[in-house]
Amino acid sequence: MITPPGTLNPTHLTSAARYPAVPVAFFFLCGIAIFRLLPTWPLSWLAAGVLLLGIAVLFRRSAVVASVCFWAAWLMTGLAAAQQAAFEYPHNHIAHYAADQSRLAQLELTLDDPPRIITNPFDQRQAIPPKQVALARVVRVLTNTGWQPCDGEVLLQINDPHPGLLAGQTLRSIGLLQRPAPAMNPGQFDWARYYRERRVLASYTINRADCIDIVSAASPDPLTAARLKARRLLADGFSPEQSLDHAVLRALLLGDNDPQLRDVQEQFQRTGTAHHLAISGTHVALLAGMIWGICRVIGVRPRRAACVALVFTVSYGLLALPSPPVVRSIVLASAMGIGVISGKRGQALTLLAASVIAMLVYHPLDLFNAGFQLSFGTVLGLILLTEPTLRSLETATGYNDPDAVVRRSFQTPTRWGRIKDAANRAVLTSLAAGIVAWLVSMPLIALHFEQLNPWAIVAGIALAVFVLVALAGGMLKLLLTFCWPSLADTWATVAATPIRWMRGVVEWLGTWPFADIPVPPSPWWLLLLFYVLLLTAIWRTKPDSLRWVLRLGRLAVAMFIVLPPLQAYVNPPVPGGTVRVTLLAVGAGQCAVVQPPGGRTLLVDAGSSSLADLVGKCLGPFLRHARCTGVDTLMLSHADHDHVSAAVEVVRSYQVREVLAGNRFTAHAQSNPQTRRLIDDLGALNRPPRIVLPGERTPLAQDTAIEILWPPAAAGIAEPKLTTNDGSLVFRLKHAGRTILFPGDIQDGAMRELLRNPSQLKADVLVAMHHGSAETMTEAFIAAVDPQFVVSSNDRTLSGKQRQFERLLANRLLLRTNDAGAITITIDEQGALRVVPFITSPQTSTQTSQQTSFLTRPPEGP
């Protein structure tokens, strides 16, 4: 049977003669994928690989034996490389000197790249002072026996930026050394894992610039100087009002990130077009194709034009940010260019496999990186599936109908007809590529980012034109500013215009219905089954008896596409009859998410004085992980900044239906400009706080309600003494006979008044008042509440009053977010109560192991 042109036979994919690098890459990837499942013996696995390779050479006349041994050797090599990268570190690595808690250390460091200054002056959130960040290589460390040689990289953070730091310098400084902090909340980005995969196991924080001594001030190497020159040329001419356009263009063209891009990045992510905002293989291919097209227009032969485009691609990659996504994109584009130059453009699959091997030999753990999987997976899907998808579209639209083909063959093509035919073909090809890219990337996006956008195909195609124009404008901005620097303002205005168009299109796409659907991550076996079924589209050579099986497989693929979005709406976020309360780890502040039966979401406070971006870095990822697309009610306990700093952003971003507060909230909010502006902003959003009073009962579900206890309409103590903390909203959450008490930040005055009626305070779980700080009345208040569990929202460092609070609890169990991370409290419909920390440390595991006797108790009567 003859295979149609452009169609791959699955039996050919494992043919060493046709695609020699494909089976090698496959088994090398398999070895990396299983590195955690086998004993950590990297040298032994490497030796086994060498032995198998020798057997393959010895039995080279036996195709089966040689092939099996050869592929097994590559599997062992991948296994050894991954274990070596993940577990093997030199004895003098800086990680041996770091711990979970910060400790004072004096290091000698070398800067390979210039530090970047991070701040958010353009943001309406809590401003953070600028700081410098960079990756630095450790040269020596000062110990009690003197300076000792040291190895490894650290994440360098300088809270007081030093103006004289340049690439190539060697520094000696005093700072705080510790391990990178892990994710503290579900859904939150795990920086510790991210840096561990890059073999960075320590962070080093320098608080003051005068703690830094520049030991050697080496001038930057030519490559670094060229990178700095390119960024200066791109920045020249942009006014402060155009700073956001400049930041977008710099990210698009050079791969640089900027904190003020957070909102733009979220918009791109919601519309499924986040790949357009960073350097990707598509961007590099567009730029290389543009250079190739210019060369062809001026009469350069194809191979020479490909050589020019290849030189441009490599030069562009050297000038861009040296990050893994950029390197991946350059390797892919260069491999394709080499294929064109060598005249083997049909060997795209072999070139892709060779690129994968080259990247993973250098950094094996990139296999588990979302960017690596998306970039190489999408390119593989485009190579294998674009042609079959295009044929299907042509059949559906009648483009390749036999009668239409015959008519076109007998017609004399006119110029307009050729243009129309080329346009139709281009539209169908773009649509086919968009469908394939979405099909391939959809499960990976759901796995890594827990979201899905059904409009991603249309959005990606619509935005590609603006991205191409913006890239061309950025390249011209660099060239024209270099040639005519006096007209830099003009070139900047021209380059910023397509950026503004692109941002406008993204904002418009974000308004489409169901533009951002949260989905739960799928298990690995389901993803594998999805891709196996997807590959049946290229299986054209098959017996007729298997046609119905493959058709059912493709139907199953369609079901996999439909089910994840439906699952987000059909399956409730929490099991039926269960209430879930999650006290998030937000540092110095408080934020609790209440999910009662029925899908309604209640937020208790939304603030932090140590997190500048509470919604973007903590609350937003958690809500996505919990499949919450909106917040119904926001309760603000009191007007302190560490409880309300993100309230306006929550109301604006999650369509909050109502805001509840105590009757002292508005008066206390007038005490400082920040909270006074909060009241004004809530009024402008048509969500002014609704005052609730003691005795009010707000039902959340059939067996779930909130009861308000404090503050009263008429204060029981003198009005001037009712401080902001004592004016906190105090309420109880009741479900299935269990009770959780939220006392805000109340202190002695409010506790004394509440203790006049101690029976109303009884609760199974107490959210510690004032972040678990001891006051005069604390012991009596805890005795009246008589909780089985106490949970507290805390920053990393505890005060003396917080240490005293722990001593007042007697045998009651205490979990603090600074140790336990997010704390999840669940109460099912039978009243069974569980309190589970997100991070299990020796302390929290000892505490939570004592839950068993408590869980078997029946709940108190209503």
User: Are 417 and 359 members of one domain?
Assistant: yes
In a domain, 225, yes or no: no
Q: What is the pLDDT of residue 73?
A: 94
**451-452 and 131-143 beta bridge pairing:** unpaired
User: CA-to-CA distance for 256 and 170, rounded, in angstroms?
Assistant: 24
Whether 174 contacts 152, CB under 8 Å:
no
| Cα–Cα nearest to 328, from 317, 337, 340 | 317
Q: Are residues 584 and 550 in the same domain?
A: no
Three-state SS for 774-793 is: CCCCHHHHHHHHCCCEEEEC
Which CATH number fits the domain that encloses residue 769?
A: 3.60.15.10
Token duo for residue 427: 């539209």
Q: What residues are paired with 766 via a beta bridge?
A: 741, 790
Does 697 share its domain with 785? yes
Residue finishing a domain among 170, 192, 220: 220
Instruction: Identify whether residues 422 and 490 lie together within a single domain.
Output: yes
CB atoms within 10 A of CB 371: 17
Distance CA 330, CA 280 (A): 9
Spatial CA neighbour of 226 closest among 117, 310, 315, 311? 315
- Structural domain boundaries, residue 71: 10-87
Q: Which of 168, 194, 220 is the last residue of a domain?
A: 220
Pair 812, 781: CB distance under 8 Å = no
Nearest-angstrom CA–CA distance, 307 and 295: 10
Which residue stretches of the chain have pLDDT < 70? 1-19, 118-129, 218-220, 257-263, 265-266, 270, 272, 274-283, 321-326, 328-329, 332-333, 335-347, 398-415, 417-418, 514-522, 537-575, 714-721, 841-862
Whether residue 660 is found in the same domain as residue 737: yes
Distance between CA atoms of 341 and 351, rounded to whole angstroms?
Answer: 13
Structure confidence at residue 849 (pLDDT):
42
The verdict on residue 397 lying in a domain is yes
Locate all alpha helices (DSSP H) within 398-414, ordered by sequence.
402-410
Asked if residue 742 belongs to a domain, the reply is yes
CA atoms within 13 A on the CB side of 238: 24
833 burial type by CB count under 10 A (0-12 exposed, 13-18 middle, 19+ buried): buried
For residue 813, give both structure tokens.
């169990």
Torsion angle of the four alpha carbons 252, 257, 263, 264, in this order, in degrees rounded to the nearest 10: 0
Q: Is residue 460 assigned to a domain?
A: yes
E-assigned strand segments in 421-527: 451-452, 517-518
Is 275 found in the same domain as 135? no
> Please, which residues bridge with residue 116 across strands?
133
Angle at 408 between CA 402 and CA 413, to 5 degrees: 165
Which of 102, 106, 129 has the alpha carbon at shortest distance from 118? 129
Could you give the strand order of the β-sheet that contains 823-827, starting from the edge strand earlier in sequence? 690-691, 658-661, 633-636, 602-608, 589-595, 579-583, 823-827, 833-837
The confidence score (pLDDT) of residue 102 equals 87
| H-helix segments, 546-632 | 547-570, 614, 620-625
Domains in the chain, number: 5
Q: CA dist 778 to 639, 708, 715, 804, Å?
A: 22, 20, 20, 10
Closest CA to 561 of 607, 526, 608, 613: 526
Confidence at residue 425, expressed as pLDDT on a 0 to 100 scale: 74
Confirm whether 800 is domain-assigned: yes
Q: Pick the closest to residue 644 from 725, 588, 590 (CA basis).
A: 590
The span from the CA of 815 to the CA of 824, in Å, is 11
Last residue of a domain, one of 57, 87, 117: 87
Give CA separation, 361 vs 50, 74, 81, 371, 377, in Å.
16, 11, 7, 17, 18
Residue 21 lies in a domain: yes
Beta bridge partners of 147: 142
CA distances for 404 relative to 244, 391, 393, 409, angstroms = 50, 15, 15, 9
Q: 636 lies in a domain?
A: yes
Instruction: Give yes or no: residues 250 and 350 share one domain.
Output: yes
Distance between CA atoms of residues 466 and 463, nearest Å: 5
Residue 837 near residue 848, CB atoms below 8 Å: yes
Let me know if 284 is exposed, middle or buried by CB neighbors in 10 A (0-12, 13-18, 19+): buried
pLDDT in tens, 41-74: 999 999 999 999 999 999 888 888 888 999 999 9
Using alpha carbons, select from 372, 373, 361 the residue that is nearest to residue 74: 361
Same domain for 682 and 650: yes
Its sign, for the CA torsion 214, 218, 219, 220, is negative
Asked if residue 740 is part of any domain, the answer here is: yes
Q: Note whether 539 and 550 are within 8 A (CB).
A: yes
Residue 321 sits in the same domain as residue 361: yes
Q: What pLDDT digit, counting tens, does each position of 129-187 carry? A: 678 888 899 999 999 999 999 999 999 999 888 888 887 889 999 999 999 888 999 98
Distance CA 186, CA 198 (A): 22
Report the alpha-carbon distance of residue 363 to residue 366 in Å, rounded.
Answer: 6
Same domain, 542 and 680: no
**CATH number of the domain to which 130 belongs:** 2.40.50
Residue type, 494: V
Residues 157 and 45 in one domain: no
Q: Give the full edge-to-edge strand order of the sheet including 789-792.
A: 697-701, 704-710, 730-735, 738-742, 765-767, 789-792, 813-816
pTM listed for this prediction: 0.77
Strand partners for 590:
607
Residue/partner pairs of 12-20 with CB below 8 Å, 24 or more apart: 13/349, 16/67, 19/347, 19/349, 19/350, 19/353, 20/350
- Same domain as 585, residue 690: yes
- At 835 the pLDDT is 94
